[in-house]
Chain A
Amino acid sequence: MANTALQADPSHDDAGHHDDHEHHENLAHHFDTYEQQFDAGKLGIWVFLVTEVLFFGGLFCAYALYRNLRPDVFAGSSEFLNTKLGAINTGVLLFSSLTMAWGVRCAQLRQHKMLAGMLAATLSCAAIFLGVKAIEYSHKWSMGLLPAGLYTYDPANPHPAGGPNYLLWICAPFAIGLLFVVGWLIIAKIKKDEFKVRVLMPLTVVFACFFVGVQLGTILESGGEGEHAAGDDHHVVAGADGHAEHGDDHAEGRADEHLEDLDQPNNLAIEKADLAGLEVLAQDQSNPGARDTLEALKRQEAVASGSVLQGDQRPVESPTEKRVTATPKQAGVFFSIYYCMTGVHAIHILAGMGVMIWLLVRATRAEFNENYFGPIDYVGLYWHLVDLIWIYLFPLLYLIGK
């Protein structure tokens, strides 16, 4: 089939003679030339990248809207993200972009061994990135810094004991992967399967690199821990105080301020004294009226404190603007957006790793040359785009209000 296609193109015939086998090897029969095949693939990957950009655009839109609505909540919540880890991960991703671009060069110059090395380096960087991310995620989950609805962070007790070991759960698939690859490598070595050994050696390094990332994250997280954890609470309190002083009614999503509010509702103290008599009356079983009154008053108090809106009650004026509430939802919304954006990005990293393992196998087979380097180039473009998205995510999420 490839032959007929080639013969249809006379210019190809002379080229086809001296190097027959290799020439036909990777040229699909519906393409006339390698260049045509390459250009078609290139257009395809660009169209895919366009959809990716628009897809992430939706997430960036949600980010922009909610940051615009609650700038203070975003600045405050961003304090919980460790800039050091984010910066390290940015560097790691940039380096992986470098090795990927270098890999394309190697493919074009038939440097097969170096290409395999570059792919392995890119994969290792991706694994380190995920390892650091595992530390970041597990640290936040254990603190209850979760998406809206699950958010349970309590500043009085930022590190509650007894939660599941999230890090263990994230690491488990990678540990299983590492064991699997090492096992396979040993079997391949025993069977003297040269090719498999050459593929599995770099893969072992890649899986091990995940744990290097975990280690790196642990060191950086604990290195900054004393200062960070202490700093955390200070920042938060300072932030809350600052807002109170400025009469800022965009209350933060921090519970600090609120704990105090609830414990000492000053404005209601006088009324409370008046209620003492009513409470005594209400204790009498035969006085349901007093009890109802008391309950109603308590409910009213909750509503008046702004923490609850009842049934069909509409808040006065612009509800989200004027209402003085700091529910976990507000900080939770930041973390919803944070997990959504970084999570979807991490899924793209995982997908990229999967495709690159396939490329590593093909590179080990020395399949790429100056006529056929498309797959490397396309995956490279995808990888650079993933890097590009992180370039925007890093300052937008980690560097607010530092």
Chain B
Amino acid sequence: MSDHSDHGFAHPQSITTLLTVFAALVFLTIVTVVQASFHLGNWEIWIALFIASLKAALVLYFFMHLGHEKPFNILVFFSTLFFLALFLGGTLSDRNAYRNQLEPDIDEPYRSEAPAEAAETAAAME
């Protein structure tokens, strides 16, 4: 695998590792596509996210060599996950408080073919 004495601080990855990881990623992509064809209802998104996270972990650990990374850099990266979780968790957990404001109350008539009608209602609104 990696030869520390020859390459100093460089840790070249073995070709076998790279190819295996790639094969695993392609396999997981196929799994996620196949999984989507089953109608699993509410579970679907969590399974899809789980598979995506598995793939992300493979990319992070091998391709981004987070395994050989300096502890501080690992801390920096995991801090982003922490803050992301804080941000998403906070915003999504109180979504019912502002749910009504996500879409406008006053909306355009949906038919674009009826411009006369639209103009009429627009005039009426003023």
Residues of A within 8 A of B (CB): 34-35, 38-39, 42-43, 46-47, 49-50, 53-54, 57-58, 60-61, 64-66, 68-69, 83, 87, 90-91, 94-95, 97-98, 100-102, 104-105, 108-109, 152, 154, 255, 258-259, 262, 295, 298-299, 302, 307-311, 314-315, 318-321, 325-330, 333, 370-371, 373, 380-381, 384-385, 387-388, 391-392, 394-396, 399-400, 402
Q: Tell me if B83 is interfacial: C-beta within 8 Å of chain A.
A: yes
5 contacts between A and B (CB under 8 A): A94-B25, A97-B59, A104-B13, A308-B109, A385-B64
Residues of A within 8 Å of B9, CB to CB, are: 34-35, 38
Contact A53 B102 (CB under 8 A): no
Residues of A within 8 Å of B117, CB to CB, are: 302
Q: A259's closest neighbor in chain B, by CB?
A: B111
Query: Roughly how many angstroms separate A302 CA and B123 CA in the complex, as a whole number?
Result: 13
Known: A108-B7, A373-B10, A399-B32. A61 touches B103 (CB 8 A): no
Contact B105 A50 (CB under 8 A): no
Q: A253's closest neighbor in chain B, by CB?
A: B110
Main secondary structure on B side of the interface with A: helix
Residues of B within 8 Å of A380, CB to CB, are: 63-64
Contact A309 B87 (CB under 8 A): no
Shortest CB–CB separation between residue B101 and chain A, in angstroms?
8
Q: Which of A255, A262, A321, A327 contacts B107 (CB 8 A)?
A: A327
Q: Which of B59, B80, B105 contacts A53 (CB 8 A)?
A: B80
Q: Which of B18, B25, B48, B91 contacts A61 (CB 8 A)?
A: B91
Contact A381 B110 (CB under 8 A): no
Q: Which of B52-85 contact A (CB under 8 A)?
A: 52, 55-56, 59-60, 62-64, 69-70, 72-73, 76-77, 79-81, 83-84
Shortest CB–CB separation between residue A14 and chain B, in angstroms?
15
Residues of A within 8 Å of B73, CB to CB, are: 42-43, 46
Counting chain B residues whose Cβ lies within 8 A of the other chain, the interface size class is: 35 or more
Shortest CB–CB separation between residue A310 and chain B, in angstroms?
6
Q: Which of A43, A255, A396 contacts B110 (CB 8 A)?
A: A255
Query: Roughly how many angstroms separate A310 CA and B125 CA in the complex, as a whole number?
Result: 5
Shortest CB–CB separation between residue A390 and chain B, in angstroms?
10
Shortest CB–CB separation between residue B49 and chain A, in angstroms?
7
Query: Roughly how many angstroms separate A381 CA and B64 CA in the complex, as a whole number?
Result: 6
Query: Roughly how many angstroms separate A102 CA and B21 CA in the complex, as a whole number?
Result: 12
Shortest CB–CB separation between residue B28 and chain A, in angstroms?
9
Contact A98 B22 (CB under 8 A): yes
Q: Which of A53, A102, A310, A387 contacts B124 (CB 8 A)?
A: A310
Contact A66 B102 (CB under 8 A): yes
Contact B60 A35 (CB under 8 A): no
Q: Which of A43, A68, A333, A402 contacts B36 (CB 8 A)?
A: A402
